[in-house]
Amino acid sequence: MSPKSNEPIALSEALASFDALWSPRIVTHVNDYDVRIAKVEGEHLWHAHDDTDEFFLVLDGELYISLREAAGERTVRLPQGSVFTVPRGTEHKPYAPAGAAILVFEPTGTPTVGDRHDEIPDHVDATTGHALES
């Protein structure tokens, strides 16, 4: 399955094609944006994207996103089917204690660890997305 495919892409099949956690696959492009899917479990890392918002859609499971905002730190809970946009420049840390599958929409070339981040743990893939294997 290629990101430039003119055929429908079944997200369940795309998710079944890989096992790596916190290692997004690019399923398609919309203008200058990647549509990425990822399997996640445990914690990501605190990071921020200085020049872009980050859109999350929870496909399966439950995702939490901790945010550091001017008013203080808070956490949002995203059950399956929920969407949330982290505003540009906002430090955030996604985590999924029981695991989740997510779809992320962000400009092509955006690193998964943002522009500002904590030390990258071994279980987090610092990437701009991987091609989806067919």
Calpha distance 16→92 (Å, rounded): 27
What pLDDT, in 10s, does the model give residues 45-98? Answer: 999 999 999 999 999 999 999 999 999 999 999 999 999 999 999 999 999 999
Calpha distance 5→8 (Å, rounded): 8
Which pLDDT does position 2 carry in this prediction?
45
Looking at every residue in the chain, the average pLDDT score rounds to 91
Answer yes or no: is 120 within a domain.
Answer: yes
Which pLDDT does position 130 carry in this prediction?
84
Domain of 87, CATH number, reads: 2.60.120.10
Q: Which domain, by its residues, includes 121? A: 11-131
